[in-house]
Each structure stands twice: as C-alpha cells, then as structure tokens.
Amino acid sequence: MSINKLVKLGLCALALSISFNSVAAEDPIRVGILHSLSGTMAISESTLKDTMLMLIEKQNAAGGVLGRKLEPVVVDPASNWPLFAEKARELLAKDKVDVIFGNWTSVSRKSVLPVIEELNGLLFYPVQYEGEESSENVFYTGAAPNQQALPAVDYLMNNIGVERWVLAGTDYVYPRTTNKILETYLKDKGVAASDIMINYTPFGHSNWQAIVSDIKAFGNAGKKTAVVSTINGDANVPFYRELGNQGIDAADIPVIAFSVGEQELSGIDTGPLVGHLAAWNYFMSVDSDANYDFIDDWVAYSGNENAVTNDPMEAHYIGFNMYIEAVKKAGTADVDAVKDAIIGVSVPNLTGGYATMMPNHHITKPVLIGEIQDNGQFSVVWETPSTVAGDAWSDFLPGSKDLISDWRKPLFCGNFNVVSGTCGGQAKAAAQ
C-alpha cells in the first residue's frame, strides 16, 4: 500500500514535471511595456505603446522567436514619476517580464533605474536624452547629445554661418544639461558669451509674446542668429504660433528643435513655419523602402490613413529587433545572456542603414537635419556621411570628459575614469 502509494506519487510527480517542462518550453517571452497612457505624457507615450504592440504582433505572425511567442504586458504609469518605479517593480517581480520597453522623460527613467538594476531587468529607452548615464541594465536607443545637438550646431555654424545663439529650453534636466554642453562647445569654438542667450520656460508655457519679441531683438544685432530649442512637449505649439505671428521667418532667424517631431507638428498649421529646422535620427519623409514598409504597417495597424511616425518609434523598432536578434544569438531569453549577446548586434534602421549596439549600451545612428514643410513633414537638407556612435559621457562637461563606459568584460564598467584608471562606484563586482 505504502509502496504503491509512493510509486503513484512518484509517477504523478514525474508526469507533473514533464508537463511542466513542456509548458515551460512553450512559455511565451513576456515583454513589459511601460509607457504612460494617461496624464500629460500620454500625448507622446501612448503611440509608443501601440508601436510595441504592432511590432510584437508582427513578430508573432512570423513565428515568434526560438519557437516561443511574445506576450505583451501593458501597464500605465500615468505620467507619474514615482509610479513608474512601482510599475517597473510590478512588471519584473509579479509579471516576471523578460524585457521592458518604456519611459519617455529622463526623470521617469531615473525613477525606474534603481528598480531595474536591483531586480536585474532589461530596459530599452527610446528617446533622445542628455547622456551622463550608462547602466548595465539599460539600452539607450535614442540619441545622446553627440548624436543630435552637437551635429545640429555644427550644421548651423558651418552651413548657415550662424554667429549668435539663443538656447531656449523647458526648465528641467534634459534642456539644462544639453544647453550646458552646447554652451561649452560654442565657447570652445570661439563664440563670445555676449553672443549666447539662454532662456528657460516652465512646462506647458503658453504665453510666448515677450520671449519671442526678445529673441527677435537679440537677432537684429547684425549677426546671423539661430535659436536652438530644447522646448519640450506641447509648449511648442504656442511657441511656433507666436513665431509665425510675429513674422520671424526661417530665412532670418531659423529655429532648430530637438524635441519637435512629426507628432508635435500634427497639432499645428505648419504654413508659417516652413523652413524651421529639427535634428533627429529619423524622419517620416526619409526615402527608403524599410521606412515605407514601416509606414504601411503603422497605417494598417492604427487604422488611420494620416497616422504619422516619428523618431522614438524608430528607436523602438531598432531596439525591439536588436532584442530579438540578441535572444536568437544567446539561444535564451535569460537576462544576463541577452545582455552579453546584444553588444555588437546590428539590425537595419529605417533610414536605409544599420544600427549597432555599442559596448556602452548606446547605438549608432545617422544624424539628419530636416526643414519643416507645409504638410507637417520634414525635408532632409543635411545628414552625416556615416552613422555616429552614441557617447554616454559628454566630452564637453568638466565632470564627465574623462569617463567612458564599456559593458564588456573585463572592464565591465559604466563610468570608467581613464585618467585615474578606476571605475567610479557604479560597477557591480563582476570581476570577482
């Protein structure tokens, strides 16, 4: 009886473990999507959630990866920075996701960072940002300052002959850091301090009259003037409207923006803005088959004939494909294996070239300068001859110019100081 029972139990256990194993093999790879679907950032982030769902659907239709399907897990951090951290913890600890795609603002990324590092997750961050960060667990598929801001300033200086600069931004970390980098860079190039005007405005600023009139006066001093705008979000609409109303023409004072894309322009009548500039790594108007296919997919998925695509969407496209390639290369979705495998992975981008994951967890990107057209699109007027690798630590800030990041062994450090030869605290004890 007792032996019988034991055998039975043993058989049961065996059967269970076999069935469990077979389930495990077919277990889907769970992809966390951490984008705000409500609150102020919903305007930008909700499209990225849809982009991810589209990419996952497409990958599943093609058979998934390693024979496993992908399963999206969508949460809504509601534009609330602390909630981002909570939702990230929920995704990693409760939903057991294998990877997270998410965040828009730098402050939300900073909020999520400790959680991702503590629970050893993977985060793909798709938006241009101020740099000065490199985490073992984060992959930055948006542009670092040297992939957007600096080439843009070079273009204005060399091709347009700009001598006088207005650095206008929204008052938070990304514009302030970027402008600090730009200020040092311009001064290095011999621009006098009196030829640089810096202006910050709060989020959602809508009364631009006095500032635009100030810019106009600053630009009327007989030197070619340009505005470098890190103004974020919907404050841009009244800003551009005021520019148009006060008759600031792109031929006189061009405005180059780092946060204005097709999505933002879809809220404005771009007639008076024709010729103002933006610097990105992707424009919807880019003439490549990969891009046209992506637009067709997006229009079909969103069911809106006039749906627009933008740079962060391309970043997710690249990030997602890199993840898939890395999982294939590693043969597993295990976080540490993927982290190792993904360095050096190359996938096509949408502009007709390739993006490669660098050892500092940033990717290579072409830099494009586009002029706004009357149909809300950009026309590319300049691009870098080849792709530019993202630099995590800017060479133009005193605290970071000696730092490099390399997540390959044996260095395995996000902020290695090449002068002192030490890793500044952030590195985990990987060398042990």
Footprint of other proteins (CB under 8 A): 37-38, 40, 42-43, 46, 160, 171, 199-202, 204-207, 209-211, 213-214, 217, 220-222, 234, 237-238, 241-242, 244-247, 250-251, 254, 263, 266-269, 272, 274-275, 287, 289, 292, 295-296, 299, 305-306, 371, 373-377, 379-381
C-alpha span between 26 and 378 (Å, rounded)? 44
Is residue 112 within 8 Å of residue 327, measured between CB atoms? no
Q: How many helices (H) and strands (E) does the chain have?
A: 12, 19
Q: Where are the beta strands (DSSP E) in 21-65?
A: 29-34
- Among residues 71 and 234, whose Cβ is nearest to other proteins? 234
Residue 357 DSSP one-character state? B
- Among residues 63 and 352, whose Cβ is nearest to other proteins? 352
Cα 174 to Cα 93, 131, 134, 318, distances in angstroms: 30, 9, 15, 23
Is residue 87 within 8 Å of residue 77, measured between CB atoms? yes
Q: Give least dist CB 169 to other proteins, A.
A: 11
- Among residues 76 and 406, whose Cβ is nearest to other proteins? 76
- Among residues 254 and 366, whose Cβ is nearest to other proteins? 254
Rounded to a whole number, what is the largest CA-CA distance in the chain?
102
- Among residues 58 and 223, whose Cβ is nearest to other proteins? 223
Q: Give least dist CB 275 to other proteins, A.
A: 5
Name the one residue in this structure whose structure tokens are 């600069």.
Answer: 165
Q: Give least dist CB 374 to other proteins, A.
A: 6
- Among residues 150 and 284, whose Cβ is nearest to other proteins? 284
Q: Give least dist CB 40 to other proteins, A.
A: 6
- Cα within 13 Å of Cα(322), Cβ side: 34
DSSP H or E stretch at residue 278: strand 277-280
Is residue 10 within 8 Å of residue 51, measured between CB atoms? no
DSSP H or E stretch at residue 382: strand 378-383
- Among residues 26 and 296, whose Cβ is nearest to other proteins? 296
| Paired tokens of 102 | 């998410």
Name the one residue in this structure whose structure tokens are 């992939």.
Answer: 147
Q: Is 220 helix (H, G, I), strand (E, B) or coil?
A: coil
Q: Give least dist CB 312 to other proteins, A.
A: 14
C-alpha span between 278 and 415 (Å, rounded)? 31
C-alpha span between 350 and 316 (Å, rounded)? 11
- Among residues 213 and 422, whose Cβ is nearest to other proteins? 213
| Paired tokens of 212 | 């635009």
| Paired tokens of 110 | 């900073």
Is residue 394 within 8 Å of residue 407, measured between CB atoms? no
- Answer positive or negative: Cα dihedral of 131, 134, 138, 143: positive
Q: Give least dist CB 177 to other proteins, A.
A: 17
- Among residues 35 and 87, whose Cβ is nearest to other proteins? 35
C-alpha span between 401 and 132 (Å, rounded)? 10
- Among residues 162 and 191, whose Cβ is nearest to other proteins? 162
DSSP H or E stretch at residue 164: strand 164-170
- Among residues 126 and 370, whose Cβ is nearest to other proteins? 370
Is residue 164 within 8 Å of residue 219, measured between CB atoms? yes
Q: Give least dist CB 404 to other proteins, A.
A: 35
Is residue 209 within 8 Å of residue 19, measured between CB atoms? no
